[in-house]
């Protein structure tokens, strides 16, 4: 599967057995990205917040 980096918009390969909640690292910018949705052409990702801030979700 392929994923798009939210940070730099690079397209990169992720494991075919990736699951929602898995954290992958963008090979272009090194951002940690959490898989949020599978299916379709691209895996959706969201940048992992490492600051520990609570955004109220
Ligand atoms: Zn990136």
Selecting from 2.40.50, 2.40.160, 3.40.50, 2.20.28, what CATH number does the domain 2-47 have? 2.20.28
pLDDT at 53: 65
Q: 4 CA to middle of ligand 1, Å?
A: 8
The domain ranges of the chain are: 2-47
Which portions of the chain are predicted below pLDDT 50? Answer: none
Q: 31 CA to middle of ligand 1, Å?
A: 6
pLDDT at 9: 93
Q: 33 CA to middle of ligand 1, Å?
A: 9
pLDDT at 39: 82
45 in Cβ contact with 33 (< 8 Å) = yes
- How far is 51 from 26, CA to CA, in rounded Å? 18
């Amino acid at each position: 599967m392929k994923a798009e980096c939210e940070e730099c918009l690079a397209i990169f390969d992720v494991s075919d057995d990736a699951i929602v909640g898995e954290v992958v690292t963008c090979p272009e910018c090194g951002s940690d990205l959490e898989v949020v949705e599978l299916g379709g052409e691209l895996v959706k990702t969201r940048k992992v917040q490492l600051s520990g801030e609570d955004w109220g979700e």
